[in-house]
Amino acid sequence: MRSPASKSGGAPQPGNGVDGLTLEQIVARLGGVLVGDARTVVQRLRPIVTAGASDITFLNRDKFLPLLAETHAAAVILPESLKDARPRSGNAIITADPYLYYARLSQWFWALQQPPFEPGRHATAQVDPAARVSERARIDAFAVIEAGAEIAADVHIGAGCHVGRDARIGPGSVLHPRSIVGWGCRLGARCVLQSGAVVGSDGFGYARQPDGAGVKIAQVGVAVLEDDVEVGANTTIDRGALDNTEIGRGVKIDNLVQIAHNVRIGPHTALAGCVGVSGSAEIGAYCFIGGGVGIAGHLRIADGVVIGGMSLVSRSVRQPGMYTGAFPLDTHANWERNAATVRQLHQLRDRIRHLEQRLETLQPEQPT
Amino acid sequence: MRSPASKSGGAPQPGNGVDGLTLEQIVARLGGVLVGDARTVVQRLRPIVTAGASDITFLNRDKFLPLLAETHAAAVILPESLKDARPRSGNAIITADPYLYYARLSQWFWALQQPPFEPGRHATAQVDPAARVSERARIDAFAVIEAGAEIAADVHIGAGCHVGRDARIGPGSVLHPRSIVGWGCRLGARCVLQSGAVVGSDGFGYARQPDGAGVKIAQVGVAVLEDDVEVGANTTIDRGALDNTEIGRGVKIDNLVQIAHNVRIGPHTALAGCVGVSGSAEIGAYCFIGGGVGIAGHLRIADGVVIGGMSLVSRSVRQPGMYTGAFPLDTHANWERNAATVRQLHQLRDRIRHLEQRLETLQPEQPT
Amino acid sequence: MRSPASKSGGAPQPGNGVDGLTLEQIVARLGGVLVGDARTVVQRLRPIVTAGASDITFLNRDKFLPLLAETHAAAVILPESLKDARPRSGNAIITADPYLYYARLSQWFWALQQPPFEPGRHATAQVDPAARVSERARIDAFAVIEAGAEIAADVHIGAGCHVGRDARIGPGSVLHPRSIVGWGCRLGARCVLQSGAVVGSDGFGYARQPDGAGVKIAQVGVAVLEDDVEVGANTTIDRGALDNTEIGRGVKIDNLVQIAHNVRIGPHTALAGCVGVSGSAEIGAYCFIGGGVGIAGHLRIADGVVIGGMSLVSRSVRQPGMYTGAFPLDTHANWERNAATVRQLHQLRDRIRHLEQRLETLQPEQPT
């Protein structure tokens, strides 16, 4: 028996209790068409190349088909386009989207391997008497819950987390160790903060005195995360200046992302690592913002926009589609020559125009 | 009565005690010319669009003038260029810089809403007997103050902060929860570290052995922050290698910024989010470094320089002014074609030159 | 006598006990040819410009030779190319690589200045009874060590660190305050995590439901750091999705770097600040990745590759050498004109081709 809340506390962890699932159990819960021996037991998900006799794996794209004949996996999740293909084991589950199937099965295996969630408070946690903490929540070592904060049922506050005054954490949310939710900020249901994430830091707002010194603008808005938002490790989300910063339902944010004050992000948009979003930018729903992208302030990105990695978005993007802006990589020697020419590009254009005019004078081009 | 230092600890938080300010009180303290009913009470600052009957708002630019007739605000802070304009309420404060006025008023409202600052040490804080902590400082839960550290009056060390051996924190500074000041580092008066900020991490310095392995160079300098410096959430400022890293008076640094060892930044410069400054770079005073900018090592940026977002500064910038270097965003399809051409730019230039020569041979251009 | 583990805990700190080293002692241990008075005592390493009469300094490149005549240093470490040069003091150590010599000497001075390493556990540290912690390890205040974790001899776990279930920390490793190692992750010998570093956060992996919502893929791999890896402040290294994330021996990672799931990095590669490496990328040995570089997913970088700062690596790099891709900085006005032309580059190329064709028609070029 394990009683983590009374010992050291921490994030969800794997145990050793799983005895495996039969293919029959899997299909009964997750769907798909089962081919082969329904009583086959699988104990882990593994990549197709390394899967062994007690593993299940998946094949996502037709181009990996040659791997199917070689895998030692006990069973393979296959797309409908390969519904007649078979691995050596003869066992397969046919489904419309093997990757999605894999995601759901991975969560199931994960849950099986976890020790049971045990509510309670570690003896060292500092929970203000004026905080409202569900009896079904778990608060780990050295966590701080300030006055007025609300912690819903099935929430796991990891070791060393900080939940500020009047903040609200919705049911089923997980704060990994040493993540922070500032005063007044609100997380919906099933949100996840990875370690070191900071929700509700002050926005970067200053007016300038006549002598040039900055005068801080008190940041009195909060940050609001709707249901099913995930925030990566050491990512920062500022509170609003007057209004709020708003992160829509199902938004997924990778590590080391900066979201400035008053940003609004629509549902189910994903932001990869190292993205920076400047103040008051609005990003639509179902967007994908590539790694390292910078988004300037006070602009608007439509729904369904994909931005390629390391691009700067300096103007609004009003149509869905894929956009990019990044200098192509080259050998340093070539880059140096081309970069020098980039700085003369405007003159080059003028020279071409001049050449065209001269040639036209010399011999006018025939209309085609 | 609230006694945070004896409960859970944390960053400054809003209370509910404010009953509002009269316009007369505001003008008496912050200046400006009052028009309308001096006894009007305002309770909050709100944006002009959403302000209600108990709110004060501001109008910063003439182009927003149409909003003035529509706002429900009890009073509006107006620039001198609009000194004859009036909101519905008839109440206005005329001032040279409404945005600066707003900043100052926002701080006042904020201070009113705070519970009083209560000095003291949370029972769980670990303060070394050889640290010198002012009786007027506040140390929250799980904070660690090492031997030789000095904490001045009116300092607020948030929950879970770490102040290393011999570090010094100047009067009125605020360390938000889980920020870190390494051994020997010094903060001036009224500095602010947002959560997760690290001041005094080791610089990135290695020599190479003949076999290619890195040999660490002990980083024995410190980081020195002068008065009124603000450091954003999860921002990192390295200590110097031999000399110090120096951040000038009034410098404002946003979230997720990296300042390498031996960097020097002049007074009142601002760095937006995700900036990286390489070792030994010197940045002047009153600069603005846009989000995501990278600054190479050992170069110098003059006073009064503005760098556009996502630019790489690879050489010294000796003249004030605005500089940029970022590939323009385009649809991915267009970008792909243009990026391919960028890699041939040098040859294109040669082809233009060759065309010019041929044309000159064919028909010499007349001197103009 | 100092007993840090029983007081407040923290990272390695300087003391005041050093009385200096004679040049004879230095050469006996670190090698090199000594010129001058072997009994000269030096107490600190200082830069050549500021070094005083009790300091030793180094001269790395011939171009700094003019500084040699002016330095007040008691001794200078010189390269063999300057073996006949002398400072005023007459004392020099001649060595093949003064910078490497400086690195080793800096570590020696540093070690001398440290209080002795004292094993033990701070009274507040939460160490699970099922963790295996060497008696020769030191665990500081508010650290959490979960069940199954192994902490080897001579390890220093700083204040507020978190070591998850079944994680392993190799001998001599140092975790600076508030760094994190997630469940199951493994650090080799002599690894260093700077403050705020997170090893073992979840990778960013989601499948999409037909309605566009993301379904989390359980991240069940771990992160493995081999011997002598250093990880910068607030850097994040994700655990693997199914397989592991692997950081090779001697890899040095600066601050605010993001390493995604399943990345593999070869021995002795260095990554400067603000780099982002996307999922499943493989980076070879002895590479140098410049600051702010972005590396796309599922690609491969050969051994011995240098990538210039702020470049995007979007395809595999198969040959050693230096590569760059960054828009050159210019005044904003010039940049604006050139950036506009970049977006028309493809058409410019077509116009040049057309000009060439017309000119060829007009007067065919002679074969040369």
Cβ-based neighbours of A364, under 8 Å, separated by 6 or more? none
Half-sphere exposure (Cβ direction) of C117: Cα atoms closer than 13 Å: 19
| pLDDT tens per residue across span A117-143 | 999 999 999 999 999 999 999 999 999
- The answer to whether B298 is a known catalytic residue is no
Catalytic residue among B122, B162, B176, B261: B261
Indicate whether C352 and C270 sit together in one domain.
no
C11 inside domain = no
**By the 8 A CB rule, do C138 and C7 touch?**
no
How much is the pLDDT for B365?
78
% of chain B beyond a pLDDT of 70 = 95
How much is the pLDDT for C113?
85
Half-sphere exposure (Cβ direction) of B362: Cα atoms closer than 13 Å: 21
B319 pLDDT above the threshold of 90: yes
Question: What DSSP string describes B23-48?
Answer: HHHHHHHH--EEES-TT-EE-EE--T
Interface B:C, Cβ pairs < 8 A: 266
A272 inside domain = yes
Domain boundary among C113, C139, C171: C113
Residues 315-334 of A with CB under 8 A from C: 326-332
| pLDDT tens per residue across span A142-160 | 999 999 999 999 999 999 9
CA angle A327, A328, A330 (to 5 degrees): 125
Rounded Cα gap, residues B52 and B36, in angstroms:
17
Indicate whether B146 and B220 sit together in one domain.
yes
Rounded Cα gap, residues C155 and C161, in angstroms:
12
A15 pLDDT above the threshold of 70: no
Indicate whether C161 and C253 sit together in one domain.
yes
| pLDDT tens per residue across span B53-103 | 999 999 988 788 889 999 999 999 999 999 999 999 999 999 999 999 999
Indicate whether C350 and C211 sit together in one domain.
no
> Residue B131 gets which letter from DSSP?
S
How much is the pLDDT for C115?
85
Closest residue, chain A, to B250 (C-alpha) = A213
Indicate whether B261 and B209 sit together in one domain.
yes
How much is the pLDDT for B3?
34
> Residue C306 gets which letter from DSSP?
E
A7 pLDDT above the threshold of 50: no
| pLDDT tens per residue across span B168-186 | 999 999 999 999 999 999 9
Of residues C116, C109, C101, the one with CA closest to residue C19? C109
**By the 8 A CB rule, do A49 and A72 touch?**
no
Domain boundary among B48, B78, B113: B113
Closest Cα in chain A, distance from residue B30 (Å): 13
Residue A319 vs residues A287, A296, A306, A326, A356: alpha-carbon distances, Å: 11, 17, 10, 20, 35
How much is the pLDDT for B229?
98
Torsion over CA: C177, C178, C183, C185 (sign):
negative
How much is the pLDDT for A368?
59
DSSP H/E element including A337: helix A332-342
A349 inside domain = yes
Indicate whether A318 and A203 sit together in one domain.
yes
Rounded Cα gap, residues C31 and B152, in angstroms:
47
Q: Please give the distance of CA A183 from its chain centroid, rounded to a whole number.
A: 24
**By the 8 A CB rule, do B152 and B133 touch?**
no
3-state DSSP: chain B helix, strand, coil percent, rounded to 5? 20, 25, 55
Q: Which residues in A lie closer than 8 A to residue B2 (C-beta atoms)? A: 147
Total number of domains in chain B? 3
- Phi, psi angle pair for A192, to nearest 5°: -130, 130
How much is the pLDDT for C18?
56
**By the 8 A CB rule, do B237 and B259 touch?**
yes
How much is the pLDDT for B113?
85
- State the CB neighbour count (10 A cutoff) for residue C168: 20
For chain C, which chains pass the contact test of at least 3 CB pairs under 8 Å? A, B
- Phi, psi angle pair for C283, to nearest 5°: -115, 135
Indicate whether C191 and C266 sit together in one domain.
yes
Rounded Cα gap, residues C15 and B184, in angstroms:
11
In the numeric block, the tokens 């700083």 are attached to C158
C309 inside domain = no
Q: In this complex, is the C-beta atom of C350 within 8 Å of any C-beta atom belonging to chain B?
A: no
For chain B, which chains pass the contact test of at least 3 CB pairs under 8 Å? A, C
Indicate whether C160 and C280 sit together in one domain.
yes
Q: What is the CATH number of the domain that holds C99?
A: 3.40.1390.10
Of residues C291, C266, C264, the one with CA closest to residue C278? C264
A74 pLDDT above the threshold of 80: yes
C315 inside domain = no
Indicate whether B72 and B210 sit together in one domain.
no
Which band of pLDDT confidence, cut at 50, 70 and 90, is reported for residue B2? very low
Closest residue, chain C, to B182 (C-alpha) = C11
Rounded Cα gap, residues B288 and B278, in angstroms:
17
Which band of pLDDT confidence, cut at 50, 70 and 90, is reported for residue B368? low
Exposed, middle or buried by CB within 10 Å (0-12, 13-18, 19+), for C244? Answer: buried
% of chain A beyond a pLDDT of 70 = 95
Helix axes A98-113, A23-30, angle to 10 degrees: 110
Q: Please give the distance of CA A272 from its chain centroid, rounded to a whole number.
A: 6
C306 inside domain = no
**By the 8 A CB rule, do C209 and C266 touch?**
no
Indicate whether A239 and A215 sit together in one domain.
yes
Closest Cα in chain C, distance from residue A90 (Å): 23
Interface A:B, Cβ pairs < 8 A: 263
Q: Which two tokens stand for residue B204?
A: 């990135």
**A154 Ramachandran zone, left/alpha/beta (phi>0; psi -120 to 50):** left
Q: In this complex, is the C-beta atom of B288 within 8 Å of any C-beta atom belonging to chain C?
A: no
How much is the pLDDT for B40?
97
DSSP H/E element including B58: strand B55-58
B367 pLDDT above the threshold of 70: no
CA angle A87, A92, A97 (to 5 degrees): 115
How much is the pLDDT for A114?
86
Closest residue, chain A, to C205 (C-alpha) = A103
Q: What is the CATH number of the domain that holds C196?
A: 2.160.10.10
Rounded Cα gap, residues A308 and C311, in angstroms:
13
Indicate whether B144 and B87 sit together in one domain.
no
Q: In this complex, is the C-beta atom of B172 within 8 Å of any C-beta atom belonging to chain A?
A: no
Domain boundary among B66, B86, B113: B113
**By the 8 A CB rule, do B322 and B316 touch?**
no
**A316 Ramachandran zone, left/alpha/beta (phi>0; psi -120 to 50):** beta
In the numeric block, the tokens 């030191």 are attached to C138
Q: Please give the distance of CA C48 from its chain centroid, rounded to a whole number.
A: 25
Q: Please give the distance of CA C169 from its chain centroid, rounded to a whole number.
A: 19
Q: Which two tokens stand for residue A356?
A: 């065209």
Q: Please give the distance of CA B160 from its chain centroid, rounded to a whole number.
A: 23
Q: In this complex, is the C-beta atom of C258 within 8 Å of any C-beta atom belonging to chain A?
A: yes
Q: In this complex, is the C-beta atom of C231 within 8 Å of any C-beta atom belonging to chain A?
A: no
Q: Which ipTM value was assigned to this complex?
A: 0.94
pLDDT in tens, chain C (368 residues): 233 333 443 433 344 445 799 999 999 999 999 999 999 999 999 999 999 999 999 998 878 888 999 999 999 999 999 999 999 999 999 999 999 999 999 999 999 888 889 999 999 999 999 999 999 999 999 999 999 999 999 999 999 999 999 999 999 999 999 999 999 999 999 999 999 999 999 999 999 999 999 999 999 999 999 999 999 999 999 999 999 999 999 999 999 999 999 999 999 999 999 999 999 999 999 999 999 999 999 999 999 999 999 999 999 999 999 999 999 999 999 999 999 999 999 999 999 999 999 888 888 877 66
SS3 of residue B206 by DSSP: strand
C182 inside domain = yes
B7 inside domain = no
Catalytic residue among C122, C261, C298, C332: C261
Residue B82 vs residues B67, B128, C88, C147: alpha-carbon distances, Å: 13, 58, 70, 67
A183 pLDDT above the threshold of 50: yes
Helix axes A345-362, B345-362, angle to 10 degrees: 30
**By the 8 A CB rule, do C290 and C311 touch?**
yes
Residues 4-23 of C with CB under 8 A from A: none
Residue type for position A46: R
What domain range includes position B127? 121-323
Q: Which two tokens stand for residue A66?
A: 């040659």
SS3 of residue B210 by DSSP: coil
Indicate whether B235 and B216 sit together in one domain.
yes
Helical residues (DSSP H) of chain B, grouped into ranges? 23-30, 65-68, 98-113, 332-342, 345-362
The overall average pLDDT reported for chain B is: 93
User: Strand B214-216 vs strand C264-265: parallel, antiparallel, or unpaired?
Assistant: unpaired
| pLDDT tens per residue across span B257-302 | 999 999 999 999 999 999 999 999 999 999 999 999 999 999 999 9
